[in-house]
Amino acid sequence: MKEYGTQFIRNVGLVGHGGSGKTSLVEAFLFDTGAINRMGKVGEGTTVSDFDDEERRRQISVSTSVIPVEYQDYKLNFLDIPGFTDFAGEVKSGLHVVGAAIVTVDSVAGVEVGTELVWQTCDEYKLPRFVVVNKMDRENANFQQALESLQEAFPKTKFIPVQLPLGEQQNFKGVVDLLSMKAQLGKGDQVADIPANLKAAADTARVQLVEAAAEGEDALLEKYLGGEELTADEVVRGFRQVLATGAFVPVFAAAGNANVAVLPLLDGVVRYFPSPAEAQPLTAHGKAGDEQLKASDGGPLCVVVWKTTADPFVGKVTYVRVFSGVLASDGRIWNHTKGAEERIGTVSVPRGKEQMGGKQLHAGDIGTLAKLSATGTGDVLGDKAYPLALDPVKLPAALYAVAVSPKTQADSAKMGTALTRICEEDPTLHWRQEAATQQTIFEGMGDQHIDVAVRRAESKFGVSLNVEVPKVPYRETITRKTDAHHRHKKQTGGAGQFGEVMMRMEPLPEADFEFTDELTGMNLSRNYLPPIEKGIRGVLEHGPLAGCPVVNVRVIVYDGKMHPVDSKPIAFETAGREAFKKGMQDASPVLLEPVMHLRVVVPETNQGAVMGDLNTRRAKISGMDQEPGGKSVITADVPLAEIQRYVSDLRSITGGRGVFSMDFSRYEVVPSHLAQNIIAAYQKEKRGGEEEAE
């Protein structure tokens, strides 16, 4: 692939609800521009974009792929971004590095849940965009109905058709281009006159288009209002301006699978979308303060890592966007984020799984670097002498967790490394050890997200994992003061062991544990306090009720006895441990459970159902509010035990339109009737383990 300067590059994210035809559209782009000689099919797993094993198996996109298309001396970098809601992190990171977006809408379903979610992200990044009403050859396809659903879903946006479909469903043959006022048949390369039955509709729609374009510049508006006709170039120029402001969104029609009306979309990308040089400058944090970075070859080198893939055979592949400067092959580059130098081999341009080597990437372009050692997703690379930092992408927090364990001993040795490599690929995945439950917790955005990651661990890294619902990390504490005492005496011939400890235990809400003393006189030497504390700390991890960590306890040693010969540290360690156990039983111990602060955003029509469901989960609803667009915001505190699978439940209640976020809030006492069941289950499990050991 030849080199392209900044002015001849367009970076475009393809987003939309899952199944709206993004991947098929990209495949048609490649076929019509001669990059491939046969169109692949999603159902057959033969598309360039969906090359991952999991994508072929599921027949959906699960990660963003880069597909550069060469068209009329322009390089159009299309990012095929997953539409399923579990992969929201891919949407955020992908749209962060593009300058515009194409939103695909199914011609039958119209606006769907995924459409609304990606539209919000496009708004967040202030991306110019246009809509493609795709799959116009489907049974029951209806362009006008899809257009109305867009206007209804996004009432503040004015949708302007730039094409009208020539037929619908099995009769979809092409489009009427409202700029040239010609019919474009087939893939868009056959030009004909507009059919007589569409002439009136085309004239009306063109007036709308010209009126929208006239609002782009004062001079154009003045000319138009003066009764003069705008030229085609003036319409394009004006429409480009209103598209950049987000006031108007052009609407196209196509059928990607059938390869109908595809080339006009590429014309639209070149015609209406900005090059990186025309986009808003990026704010970077430099040595002398903030500075505005324009996409220019002459600017300071600023390269952002937006995606990383780990392959056991190829190694690490790092996807980058050059925001400023020129990235050349065979050199060295400084990682400003990690403070490390990296050796660059060949700079490549990806097309699906294919890597096409090149000499350099100009400002605004997207490419890959292989085998960088320290660099990860989100890092900023550049010139060591010109340090720059950028605000990181705000990725959504994990909402779904599972406990994973290795299936075999061999898997056990490799599990940590495999999970780390998978989390490097996808920053919305996290793993950690939960000390309270002694489980390995793997977190992501939903069940599909986790399932894909677990399968990748097996296919890429040869690690097979068992998956189960995580145990809730309960805690135990005391609710009243008590005194505890234990004498440890052991005589086995010769020197024995003797240690006696008297302590007071009391609740300590402000800290997990505190050990102190009130010793007076010579009954007990302070030299024995460290072993006493060691003994107590040894049993803090396993409380008497359900074997959970003990928290919020203060221990005060106030007296004891020692023997001049038999007293040893080990004796006082044992005495301290046993005294603490007795004290825990006498201080009215209770179970504590983690409580999460939940923020749920749902359509107003689902508010009642969601609140009713939350009430069944022991939720304490703390607030209700309204957001623009008919959304209700519910805030509540809910025990973690009740919402471990809330992702799936909320989608079911709201038809996928509800979203939520949650953060840890505090620990609260478990209601006694529920605590009894938890304790009984622990005791049963403990007895089973003891019998097995025997």
Q: How do residues 344-366 score in pLDDT, each as one tens digit? A: 989 999 998 888 988 999 999 99
Residues 54-81: pLDDT tens digits? 777 888 888 889 999 999 999 999 999 9
- 502 or 62, which is more confident? 502
Counting every residue written for the chain, the total comes to 694
Residues 534-557: pLDDT tens digits? 999 999 988 889 889 999 999 999
pLDDT at 694 over 60: no
**Among 275, 206, 215, 249, CA closest to 10:** 275
In whole angstroms, give the CA distance from residue 405 to residue 91: 30
Angular region, 139: left φ>0, alpha ψ -120 to 50, beta rest: beta
Q: What's 561's DSSP letter?
A: E
Pick 476-588's CATH classification: 3.40.50.1370, 3.90.580.10, 1.10.1200.10, 3.30.230.10.
Answer: 3.30.230.10
The answer to whether 418 touches 457, Cβ cutoff 8 Å, is yes
Least confident of 280-284, 493-497, 607-611, 660-664: 493-497
In whole angstroms, give the CA distance from residue 345 to residue 331: 7
Q: 400-471 domain in CATH 3.30.70.870?
A: yes
Q: 592-673 domain in CATH 3.30.70.240?
A: yes
Average pLDDT of the residues in 254-283:
92
- 221 or 581, which is more confident? 581
pLDDT at 227 over 90: no
The answer to whether 543 touches 592, Cβ cutoff 8 Å, is no
CB atoms within 10 A of CB 401: 21
Indicate if the alpha-carbon torsion angle 304, 26, 422, 433 is positive or negative.
Answer: positive
In whole angstroms, give the CA distance from residue 177 to residue 200: 14
For Cα atoms 570, 574, 580, give the angle at the middle one, nearest 5 degrees.
145
pLDDT at 476 over 90: yes
pLDDT band at 478 (very low <50, low <70, confident <90, very high): very high
Q: 6-194+247-278 domain in CATH 3.40.50.1260?
A: no
Instruction: Tell me whether the CATH fold assigned to 400-471 matches the one assigned to 592-673.
Output: yes
Residues 127-183: pLDDT tens digits? 999 999 999 999 999 999 999 999 988 888 899 999 999 988 889 999 999 988 999
**Among 106, 176, 177, CA closest to 143:** 106
pLDDT at 189: 85
Average pLDDT of the residues in 99-106:
94
Mean residue pLDDT across the chain: 90
**Among 221, 240, 22, CA closest to 115:** 22
CA torsion angle for 643, 645, 649, 651 (degrees, to 10)? Answer: 110
In whole angstroms, give the CA distance from residue 8 to residue 255: 27
Structure tokens at 214: 């006239």
pLDDT band at 664 (very low <50, low <70, confident <90, very high): very high
pLDDT at 213 over 90: no
Pick 282-389's CATH classification: 2.40.30.10, 1.10.3720.10, 3.40.605.10, 1.10.630.10.
Answer: 2.40.30.10
Beta strands 9-16 and 74-80: pairing type?
parallel
For Cα atoms 258, 264, 267, give the angle at the middle one, nearest 5 degrees.
140
For Cα atoms 305, 335, 329, give the angle at the middle one, nearest 5 degrees.
75
Residue ranges per structural domain of the chain = 6-194+247-278, 282-389, 400-471, 476-588, 592-673
pLDDT at 50 over 60: yes
In whole angstroms, give the CA distance from residue 606 to residue 585: 47
Residues 401-452: pLDDT tens digits? 999 999 999 999 899 999 998 888 888 999 999 988 889 999 999 888 999 9
The answer to whether 308 touches 316, Cβ cutoff 8 Å, is yes
pLDDT at 577: 94
